[in-house]
């Protein structure tokens, strides 16, 4: 008998015989729509993420451009914020090892946890979200959902092959519980709220 | 702008000061001594941990701090108890339908281009990985933390095959370089002090032996691991959840090492126990909300990653491993241990675990959850472990999936006692206690007498070889008056 059939047979023979109902999961809405941005920012900062205010109405992207100008090698997936190196799907993932700053638009944000979500569509090459030293994220305030239940109801869960919720920078506390940012992935993660129509 | 105290995830940025009894540096206590199939002597190993005051104080405080952060996050969510109920019943449903859900997962994963393998035990799992690596001519595998591969003896097997395995999680890497098992399911090197890590890194990575700064040490690991990740032929991750409905593998980490291991090499292998299945994507909201809050007291891990298929030009494999799980499903009394999501909350709250260190259990799974899982793996070898508990029930109170941990520990004691595992002196004493507890008036007289007499008894009368409980324990001060006397005076 194949391992597959043997395991399934053993499971069938040993599983409980009584029927168990499958519970439905409610959405647990607690936050009003106008409270989402404040909660998102509070949690983002609690988790070690940084907040960048957009510029004035005539030049909202100015702070992002300033960050890009200061960095060395910049990969950007945001058309109106060009970097110094272009990225194409199919590029070897390890090639991005020397990137200083990556600029990416988030698919959506989660207020409850201060997380930003990326699929392979936003990242183009997934490793851009980990190998770059720093990450600058554009997020449309209209794309912030209240909690994880709403995040899992999003279409991204059922499309594409990869979806990640990133919450602040990479972190570790494995040595005496001392918190260190930049364990393996990015050393910093900064979020700027900018509508999709702007960039 | 208002100042924000960064206090998140695994972290506390404030240092826990140890008593410093040994200014010249206290040696790190090593774990239980393993002698084949002979029962693990947890008490002996715990005594050695207790004899290292700096390590003991840090370990106790650090884990209690995680427990307190867990409370803070849990109490901040009004629906917390409802989430625990939901998690528990979703897992009940998953276990009752495990066969069809595994088939559903396999079907959906394959439809997305994932190769699904099945392994009856650790050896079969290891063979599958070796075969994939040979096919790709890959001598090096980078992996993120996985308790399942610890169960499978994966690294030892790979070494015998001449294949290199690099752990990418900092704590797990420290343990790999020090030839030790993880001592905790979430924070594998929590029993070590910074000087211990500095010594291991100086010996193995060539770092400055006098620099004990955790930031320096973590940076050294990052720099030494990076080239290995960039050059690896295969990446491996564990799985926190498998979603049947979508064929998705979910992995939660704080360091981002799982995403590097999965996204850099051309091949991604997932090792997953068959009990990791949950039915629907919508169920994930419940578990992800509970997992990191229970584990570390943070609302979520820094990275929550969902793999539903291989990336462009890459391969993805999932190995579904049984290794005793289907047999445990048939053990009605211990079945619910399969609901465990490995958050470690029971360990952080357990007074015995916090003071004995995880390696004292001499098993893959330590702490309260280990006390019920380990004997299902080897009943003789882990026969003494169910006694490494006060049965205070704190583990059950914090378990996010509502496993009745302390009741199962108690049930194991019943089984061990039937098979005469406790010592003769313990059994004789238990018989005497049973007699006393069956006669309330005699019990009350005894309690009152003990309160009066105990403080005046010489130590040898309490701590002698005939009293199996005297070892490693101090008798608390008896109250001036018994509860029964107080109740009679005030409530009747």
Across the interface, of B170, B197, B305, the residue whose CB is closest to A164 is: B305
Assess B279–A contact: CB distance below 8 Å, yes or no. yes
**CA angle B69–B71–B72, rounded 5-degree value:** 65
Residue B207 lies in a domain: no
Of B304, B334, B364, which residue constitutes the final position of a domain?
B334
Q: CA nearest B96: which of B273, B280, B402, B339?
A: B339
**What count of residues does chain B have?**
492
pLDDT digits (tens, 9 = 90+) for A125-171: 999 999 999 999 999 999 999 999 999 999 999 999 999 999 999 99
Of B273, B302, B334, which residue constitutes the final position of a domain?
B334
Q: CA nearest B143: which of B234, B248, B80?
A: B234
Residue B179 lies in a domain: no
Q: Assess whether B113 and B238 both reside in one domain.
A: yes
CATH superfamily of A30-193: NagB/RpiA/CoA transferase-like (3.40.50.10420)
Assess A151–B contact: CB distance below 8 Å, yes or no. yes
Q: Assess whether B239 and B134 both reside in one domain.
A: yes
Q: How many domains does chain B have?
A: 3
Q: Which residues contact B438 (CB under 8 A, 6 or more apart)?
A: none
Q: Assess whether B460 and B311 both reside in one domain.
A: no
Supply the pLDDT for residue B446: 76
Instruction: Compute the distance between CA of residue B89 and CA of residue A20 in angstroms, rounded to an integer.
Output: 8
Using CA coordinates, name the residue in chain B closest to A152. Answer: B282
Assess B195–A contact: CB distance below 8 Å, yes or no. no
pLDDT digits (tens, 9 = 90+) for B135-145: 999 999 999 99
Residue B65 lies in a domain: yes
Chain B positions in Cβ-Cβ contact with residue A146 (cut-off 8 Å): none
Across the interface, of B117, B226, B283, the residue whose CB is closest to A25 is: B283
Q: Assess whether B265 and B387 both reside in one domain.
A: no
Task: Give the orientation angle of helix B80-96 with respect to helix B284-295, to 10 degrees.
Answer: 120
Supply the pLDDT for residue B477: 76
Q: Assess whether B303 and B382 both reside in one domain.
A: no
Place of tokens 């003991």: B56
Tokens read off for A130: 């980990």
Instruction: State what percent of residues in chain A have pLDDT above 90.
Output: 97
Q: Burial of A20 by CB count in 10 Å (0-12 exposed, 13-18 middle, 19+ buried)?
A: middle
Residue B199 lies in a domain: no
Across the interface, of B4, B10, B194, the residue whose CB is closest to A172 is: B10
Contact criterion met (CB below 8 Å) for A193 and A141: yes
Q: How close, in Å, is residue A8 to chain B by CA atoms?
A: 6
Chain A positions in Cβ-Cβ contact with residue B305 (cut-off 8 Å): 162-165
Q: Assess whether B410 and B350 both reside in one domain.
A: yes
Q: Which residues span the domain enclosing B358?
A: 42-71+344-422
Tokens read off for A182: 């930049």
Which pLDDT band, with edges at 50, 70 and 90, does B4 fall under? very low
Supply the pLDDT for residue B148: 97
Q: Which of B201, B302, B308, B336 to mutate to test the interface with A (most CBs of A within 10 A)?
A: B302
Contact criterion met (CB below 8 Å) for B179 and B147: no
Cα within 13 Å of Cα(A109), Cβ side: 30
Contact criterion met (CB below 8 Å) for B235 and B268: yes
Q: Assess whether B134 and B265 both reside in one domain.
A: yes
Residue B128 lies in a domain: yes
Q: Assess whether B161 and B101 both reside in one domain.
A: yes
Q: Assess whether B132 and B64 both reside in one domain.
A: no
Stretch B323-336: mean pLDDT, rounded? 97
Supply the pLDDT for residue B472: 63
Residue B198 lies in a domain: no
Residue B399 lies in a domain: yes
Q: How close, in Å, is residue A105 to chain B by CA atoms?
A: 17
Number of H helices, E strands in chain B: 22, 10
**Full DSSP string of A163-180:** EEEE-SS-EE-TTTTB-E
Q: Assess whether B393 and B452 both reside in one domain.
A: no
Of B313, B334, B355, which residue constitutes the final position of a domain?
B334
Residue B8 lies in a domain: no
């Amino acid at each position: 008998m194949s391992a597959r059939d043997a395991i399934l047979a053993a499971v069938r023979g040993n599983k409980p015989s009584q029927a168990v109902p499958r519970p439905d999961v409610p959405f647990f809405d607690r936050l009003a729509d106008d409270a989402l941005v404040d909660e998102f920012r509070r949690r983002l900062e609690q988790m070690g993420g940084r907040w960048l205010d957009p510029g004035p109405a005539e030049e909202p992207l100015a702070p992002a451009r300033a960050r890009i100008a200061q960095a060395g090698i910049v990969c950007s997936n945001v058309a109106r914020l060009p970097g110094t190196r272009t990225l194409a799907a199919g590029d070897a993932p390890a090639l991005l090892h020397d990137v200083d700053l990556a600029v990416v638009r988030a698919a959506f944000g989660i207020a409850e946890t201060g997380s930003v979500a990326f699929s392979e569509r936003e990242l183009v090459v997934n490793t851009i979200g980990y190998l770059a030293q720093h990450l600058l994220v554009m997020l449309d305030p209209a794309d912030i959902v209240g909690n994880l239940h709403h995040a899992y109801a999003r279409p991204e869960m059922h499309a594409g092959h990869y979806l990640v919720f990133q919450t602040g920078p990479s972190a570790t506390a494995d040595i005496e519980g001392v918190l260190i940012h930049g364990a393996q992935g990015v050393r910093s993660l900064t979020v700027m709220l900018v509508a999709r129509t702007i960039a | 702008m208002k100042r924000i105290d960064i206090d998140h995830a695994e972290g506390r940025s404030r240092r826990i000061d140890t008593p410093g009894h040994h200014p010249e540096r206290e040696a790190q206590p090593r774990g239980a001594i393993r002698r084949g199939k002979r029962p693990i002597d947890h008490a002996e190993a715990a005594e050695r941990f207790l004899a290292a005051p700096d390590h003991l104080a840090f370990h106790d405080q650090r884990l209690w701090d995680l427990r307190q952060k867990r409370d803070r996050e849990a109490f901040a969510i009004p629906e917390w108890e409802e989430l625990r109920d939901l998690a528990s019943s979703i897992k009940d449903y998953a276990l009752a339908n495990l066969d069809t859900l595994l088939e559903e997962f396999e079907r959906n994963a394959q439809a997305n281009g994932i190769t699904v393998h099945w392994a009856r035990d650790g050896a079969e799992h290891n063979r599958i990985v070796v075969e994939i690596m040979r096919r790709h001519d890959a001598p090096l595998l980078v992996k993120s933390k996985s308790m399942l591969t610890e169960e499978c003896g994966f690294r030892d097997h790979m070494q015998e095959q001449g294949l290199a395995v690099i752990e990418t999680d900092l704590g797990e890497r420290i343990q790999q370089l020090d030839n030790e098992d993880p001592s905790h399911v979430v924070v594998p090197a929590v029993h070590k002090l910074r000087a211990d890590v500095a010594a291991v890194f100086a010996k193995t990575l060539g770092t400055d032996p006098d620099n004990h700064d955790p930031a320096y040490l973590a940076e050294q690991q990052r720099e030494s691991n990076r080239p290995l990740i960039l050059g690896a032929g295969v990446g491996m991750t564990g799985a926190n959840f498998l979603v049947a409905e979508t064929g998705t593998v979910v992995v939660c980490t704080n360091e981002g090492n799982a995403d590097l291991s999965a996204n850099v090499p051309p091949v991604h292998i997932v090792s997953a126990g068959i009990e990791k299945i949950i039915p629907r994507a919508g169920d994930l909201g419940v578990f992800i909300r509970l997992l990191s809050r229970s584990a570390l007291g943070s609302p979520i891990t820094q990275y929550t990653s969902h793999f539903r298929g291989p990336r462009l030009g890459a391969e993805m494999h999932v190995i579904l491993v049984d290794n005793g799980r289907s047999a445990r499903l048939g053990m009605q009394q211990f079945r619910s241990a399969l609901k465990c999501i490995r958050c470690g909350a029971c360990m952080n709250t357990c007074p015995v675990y916090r003071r004995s260190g995880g390696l004292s259990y001499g098993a893959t799974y330590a702490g309260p959850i280990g006390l019920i899982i380990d004997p299902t793996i080897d009943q003789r070898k882990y026969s003494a472990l169910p006694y490494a508990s006060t049965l205070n029930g704190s583990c059950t109170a914090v378990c996010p999936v509502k496993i009745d941990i302390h009741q199962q520990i108690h049930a194991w004691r019943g089984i061990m006692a039937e098979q005469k595992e406790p010592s003769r002196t313990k059994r004789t004493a238990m018989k005497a206690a049973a007699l006393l507890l069956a006669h309330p008036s005699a019990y009350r007289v005894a309690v009152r007498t003990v309160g009066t007499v105990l403080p005046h008894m010489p130590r040898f009368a309490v701590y002698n070889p005939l009293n199996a409980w005297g070892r490693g324990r101090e008798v608390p001060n008896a109250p001036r008056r018994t509860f029964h006397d107080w109740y009679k005076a005030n409530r009747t």
